[in-house]
Amino acid sequence: MRIAARNEHTSLTKAGSPDRFGYEWSEYSEMRPEYEEQFRRWTAHLRPEDWQGRSFLDVGCGMGRNSYWPLSYGASRGVAIDVDQRSLAAARRTLAQFPNAQVLAASAYDIPFVGAFDIVFSIGVIHHLEQPRRAVAEMVRAARPGGRVLIWVYGRENNGWIVTFVDPLRKVLFARLPVAFVHHLSLYPAIVLWCALRFGLRRVGYFRLLGQFSFRHLRSIVFDQLLPRIAHYWPREAVAEMMREAGFADIRLAWINEVSWSAIGTKPPSRCDQQAEETEGTLAK
Ligand SMILES: C[S@@+](CC[C@H](N)C(=O)[O-])C[C@H]1O[C@@H](n2cnc3c(N)ncnc32)[C@H](O)[C@@H]1O
């Protein structure tokens, strides 16, 4: 029974492609100045001063770039979790200068904290998971009552061309190829995109942002699009529904770069998971 549960957990975790992202984060582990602008956009609901003196949990931290900025804005404590060892090693290097940062191996499906953080966030992770709602529920549990939970996910709006042309190819081809080979292949669409951006591709805000990036950064973004086993592109209402289902108060959504959604909600102050768990435990005895 236990073995079956463990196998289910392993295949659930594997579906989120941590091994493939681990390749990406060991290959592209340098901190780039433009990551701050990206972070500010992805977390549009929060200003740098909102992190001051606050504790946070970064779920699916990759190489740790999104924990770096709140720590540099004065967060009191930051915990970054991921399930891939290469990502965790890169995150430890990125965050080495912050004594109040902790990098831990833990899954979004099984977060080892209850009611512990002022802010729990996950950037670019939830849309790659087989059971996104389960991960959001875990994030809610990890936040303190009255704390805030933020997710940034791909939008369906303005991504029709990816959903129609790139996504089917990703599913049948790229997600099944060895990740190092996908990395090699990413060079060619990256060259095409780089040229298109130079020749005036500016249709949506995201392309205007991409036009400012180095070729290496652009290629890492193309690679990131091709490598995962799962990628959901959610319309606004689907993201709003997921947040409502998680039981948040004061839900806000922001359209980011005209291609994605940043959603934030407050865990109701009355919701105390620790007490609820203890009560459940007592009742079960
Ligand atoms: C697209 S990357 C985003 C990384 C980081 N949040 C960022 O924006 O730079 C997705 C990350 O989610 C991690 N991941 C996938 N499944 C996970 C799970 N079940 N629990 C925790 N992290 C997971 C991967 O290992 C990877 O580092």
Cα–Cα distances in Å, from 102 out to 83, 136, 228, 243?
14, 21, 26, 27
Å from CA of 281 to ligand 1 middle: 32
Q: What is the mean pLDDT of residues 141-165?
A: 96
pLDDT digits over 56-80, tens only? 999 999 999 999 999 999 999 999 9
| Token pair belonging to 203 | 């249709």
Whole-angstrom Cα distance, residue 67 to residue 149?
15
Query: Nearest 5°: phi and psi at 104?
Result: -130, 150
- Our mutation pick for probing the ligand 1 site, out of 27, 30, 82, counting the most ligand atoms within 8 A of Cβ, is 82
Domain ranges of the chain: 13-156+231-284, 161-226
pLDDT digits over 198-254, tens only? 888 777 878 888 998 999 999 999 999 999 999 999 999 999 999 999 999 999 999
Closest among 258, 182, 253 to 220, alpha carbons compared: 182
pTM over 0.95: no
Q: Which atom of ligand 1 is nearest to the CA of 25?
A: 27
Residue carrying the six token digits 């990890």: 142
Whole-angstrom Cα distance, residue 208 to residue 26?
27
Q: What is the mean pLDDT of residues 123-145?
A: 98
> How many of the other CB atoms lie within 10 Å of CB of 153?
24
- Cβ 108 under 6 angstroms from ligand 1: yes
| pLDDT at residue 4 in the model | 62
**Model confidence band, residue 284 (pLDDT cutoffs 50, 70, 90):** very low
**Model confidence band, residue 271 (pLDDT cutoffs 50, 70, 90):** low
Whole-angstrom Cα distance, residue 240 to residue 26?
34
| pLDDT at residue 200 in the model | 82
The yes-or-no verdict on residue 141 having pLDDT over 50 is yes
| pLDDT at residue 275 in the model | 46
- DSSP β-ladder status, 117-123 and 143-154: parallel
**Does residue 266 come out as left (phi exceeding 0), alpha (psi in the -120 to 50 range) or beta?**
beta
**Model confidence band, residue 256 (pLDDT cutoffs 50, 70, 90):** very high
Window from 6-20, 41-55, 155-169 with minimum mean pLDDT: 6-20
Report yes or no: 217 and 30 within 8 Å, Cβ to Cβ: no
Q: Which CATH architecture has domain 13-156+231-284?
A: 3-Layer(aba) Sandwich (3.40)
